[in-house]
Each structure stands twice: as C-alpha cells, then as structure tokens.
Structure 1
Amino acid sequence: MTDTERTPAAATGEKQPFDLGTGPGRVLVWFYGVFTVAAASRSIVQMILDFGRAPLAYVLSAVAALVYGFITYSLVRGGETARRTALVCCAAELLGVLVVGTWTMAEPSAFADATVWSDFGMGYLFIPVILPITGMMWLRRARKA
C-alpha cells in the first residue's frame, strides 16, 4: 500500500462525498421513513376495506407513500445521483401537496375521504408541506459541501 492510498481524502485535497443521512439528514430520514409507513399503511387498509368509496384519495395516499419511500431510500443511499434524484422527488412531492391541498380547499366535495396531502397535510400537522421544503434545503446544502 502506498502513502497516497493510506492518506485520507481530506489530506490529499480530494473532495469527500457528502453523506445525506448524517446530521439533519438523519432527522429527514426518520421523518420520511415514518411517513412512508404511515401513508402506505393508511392507503393499503383503505384500498382493501373500501376502495370504491374514495379511489382517488386512496391512490393519492399510495403515491405519497411511494414518493416518501423513494426519498428515504435516496437519503440513506447517499451520493450525488441519489441527492439529485431526491431533490427532484422533493420538488414533485411539494407540487403534489400544493395541488392536492389547493384542490381540497377549493372543492372539498372532490374527495370522499382525506389523503395525506389534503388541506396541505393538516391531518398530519402540516408536516407534508414542511418536509419537502426542508428536504430541498438540506439537499441543496449537501451539493455545496
């Protein structure tokens, strides 16, 4: 083994990869993981028990679960490709929350039952609208590190 192989990347001037799941990223991983389980559980139970009652709402909750799961995976995986993918997913999530939130406020009768993103996530303490903003801030910071 040569000296350059033993020398840490920081000492040789190489840029070390930023770990997305450390520091505040760990909190994001936790929240996204919890929301993955919550949205998936909710949508699965609702689709099994009473899909015909509100199919749009239940499918949107399942889509939210998939987005949350993918962001969780990307944050845990780390790396530049995962960071960019998670950033795009957070933007899509925010767009979904804003569209569904506005739709449910403007036309409440459009949904026979609430989704995770209904009323901008009011049923989840507005975390669904706060989470993608926080995620995008963290992911943009990670790019600069």
Structure 2
Amino acid sequence: MNPVARIILIVVYSILGLAATGRATVQIMEKFSEAPVAYTVSAISAVLYVVIAVALWRGWERVALVGSSLELAGVLLVGTLGYLDADLWPDETVWTGYGSGYGWVPLLLPLVALYFLLKGRQRRAATNL
C-alpha cells in the first residue's frame, strides 16, 4: 500500500473512530432506550473504525480489507434502509443518510481504503510473478 495513503487513512479512521466513539457513548449513556438499534449501530461503527485504523497502522491488510468491506456494507445498508423507511432510525447513526452528517466521509472512506488496499495487493501479486 502507498505509505502516504496509508498514513492519511490511519489519521482519518482514527479521527472518525474518536468521533463515532464519543457520539455512541453519549447516545448510549443518555438515551439508549429511545433508539437502541440506532445507538448500537453507532457503537459498532465506532469499533469498526478503530479496528481498521489499528489494522492499517499494524500492517494487517487483510483485517483492514475485511473491516473496510464491512464498513461499506454497513453504510450502504443503513443509508438505504433509512431512505426506504425513516422510522427504522428514530435518531441518527454515523451511517444514517450514507454518512451525510459526517460529510459523507463514512461512504467515501471505505471506497478509498478498498481502492488502495486492493491496488497494493495487485501490485504485490504482479511483482511476485
């Protein structure tokens, strides 16, 4: 993986992980009974962001690849379900509206991460031929 892209991804995932952790903590501690599914999704996204950041930092590309894939699937699922039935999410999650509350970073970030992870994997495969 490109070292500059790796560092940028680690920084962005770390910041998003901190933001999502803070949001989920406040939501769960103050009003969990109002929207338990939404707040659990926020907590899951926070854990996923931290795991991906650590995986990128430690060079665990397979973990980062799986995590980014799960993140993208989660963003697409939560975003789509929210548009199909707004009552499913009585309060926002990090992934509501495809991450619109976070400037669509939750939608774009896994795409960028997957691009660089897969590109690095292809480059290594080509040099091993």
TM-score, length-scaled by structure 1 = 0.82
- For 1:12-91, list aligned pairs within 5 A: 22-78=3-59, 82-91=60-69
- For 1:94-113, list aligned pairs within 5 A: 94-113=72-91
Specify which of 132, 135, 140 is matched with residue 110 of structure 2: 132
Count how many residue pairs are aligned between Structure 1 and Structure 2.
123
Partner in structure 2 of residue 10 of structure 1 = none
Give distance in 1, aligned partners of 2:36 and 2:85: 17
Please state whether the residue corresponding to 2:91 is helix, strand or coil: coil
Partner in structure 2 of residue 9 of structure 1 = none
Equivalent AA in structure 2 for residue 73 of structure 1: V
Please state whether the residue corresponding to 1:113 is helix, strand or coil: coil
Equivalent AA in structure 2 for residue 45 of structure 1: V
Structure with more helix by fraction? 2
Please state whether the residue corresponding to 1:116 is helix, strand or coil: coil
How far off its partner does 1:142 sit? 2.0
Give distance in 1, aligned partners of 2:6 and 2:116: 7
Equivalent AA in structure 1 for residue 78 of structure 2: V
4+ aligned runs moved over 2 Å, structure 1: none
Is the radius of gyration larger for structure 1 or structure 2? 1
Unmatched tracts of structure 1, length 5 or more: 1-17
How far off its partner does 1:140 sit? 1.1
TM-score, length-scaled by structure 2 = 0.91
Unmatched tracts of structure 2, length 5 or more: 125-129
Identity of aligned residues (%): 36
